[in-house]
């Protein structure tokens, strides 16, 4: 049970707002020490995970592409496109994006979009443009608030919908953990029972976005 002290290190580290990378490293070292592993063996495990996880290195391919598109004016074009639509607001636009994001995550396409690929270069500028069309040029604080809500919408959509896909790693992890406790469960059951959670997340966050629209309209009043 002493191996689980690594979890306590993570909780305490995040609670006192230490650097996340430092917290993870300290937690790994703590669990590894109680498991009888040397520091070099723990570092070797980190290196193995880094080498096996191809999504880690894919960021080096995505970031230059996003930078090139931004230099070519993709943010400006996205903002101009949403500005030409009538009746659109930041909240309604983000609700539409959340619905699309949940559907794609539920069928296993969680990595088709994300903070780097879509939120920063496309979704956030479009939400800002929708705010400007409806309520006028927003203040700097409001712009950052819209960007934060855009990022939060993507996180909520993916987090509560990806488990609907039966082959998602988190679903298989739950099945594996329960199997070690001699609890046999079909992965399909976990996926099916993840659907109500995803629907509740859509309703709750959708309501938050509608209230967010009201807040933006209130802040825009002279």
> pLDDT per position in the chain (222 positions), as tens?
677 788 888 888 888 888 877 888 888 888 888 888 888 888 787 777 665 655 555 555 666 766 777 777 777 777 787 877 777 889 999 999 999 999 999 988 888 888 888 898 889 998 998 888 887 888 889 999 999 999 999 999 999 998 898 877 778 778 887 888 788 888 888 889 899 999 999 999 999 999 999 998 887 655
What pLDDT score does 220 carry? 67
Which residue from 153, 154, 150, 157 is spatially nearest to 129, judged by alpha carbons? 150
Is 74 among the domain residues?
no
Q: Decide if 148 is inside a domain.
A: yes
State the pLDDT at residue 116: 81
Helices (H) and strands (E) in the chain, counts: 10, 0
Does residue 158 lie in a domain region?
Answer: yes
> Would residue 130 count as lying in a domain?
yes
Number of domains comprising the chain: 1
Q: Examine residue 198 and state whether it is found in any structural domain, yes or no.
A: yes
Task: Flag whether 207 is in a domain.
Answer: yes
165 within some domain? yes
pTM for the model: 0.69
Domain that holds residue 161: 87-220
Question: Around 68, how many Cα atoms within 13 Å sit in the side-chain half-sphere?
Answer: 5
Report the alpha-carbon distance of residue 133 to residue 152 in Å, rounded. Answer: 22
- What pLDDT, on a 0 to 100 scale, did the predictor assign at position 63? 65
CB 119 within 8 A of CB 92: no
94: number of Cβ within 10 Å:
29
Residue 195 lies in a domain: yes
């Amino acid at each position: 049970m002493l191996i689980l002290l690594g979890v306590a290190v993570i909780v305490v580290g995040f609670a006192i707002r230490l650097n996340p990378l430092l917290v993870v490293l300290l937690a790994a070292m703590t669990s590894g020490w109680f498991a009888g592993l040397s520091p070099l063996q723990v570092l070797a495990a980190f290196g193995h995970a880094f080498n096996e996880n191809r999504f880690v290195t894919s960021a080096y391919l995505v970031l230059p592409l996003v930078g090139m598109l931004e230099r070519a004016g993709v943010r400006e074009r996205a903002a101009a496109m949403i500005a030409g639509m009538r009746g659109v607001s930041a909240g309604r636009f983000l609700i539409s994006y959340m619905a699309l994001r949940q559907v794609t995550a539920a069928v296993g396409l969680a990595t088709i979009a994300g903070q780097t690929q879509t939120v920063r270069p496309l979704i956030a500028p479009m939400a800002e443009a929708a705010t400007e069309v409806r309520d006028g040029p927003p203040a700097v604080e409001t712009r950052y608030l819209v960007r934060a809500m855009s990022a939060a919408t993507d996180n909520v959509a993916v987090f509560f919908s990806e488990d609907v896909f039966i082959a998602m790693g988190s679903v298989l992890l739950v099945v594996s953990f329960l199997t070690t406790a001699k609890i046999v469960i079909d992965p399909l059951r976990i996926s099916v029972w993840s659907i109500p959670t995803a629907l509740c997340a859509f309703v709750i966050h959708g309501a938050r976005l509608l209230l967010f629209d009201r807040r933006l309209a209130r802040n825009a009043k002279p």
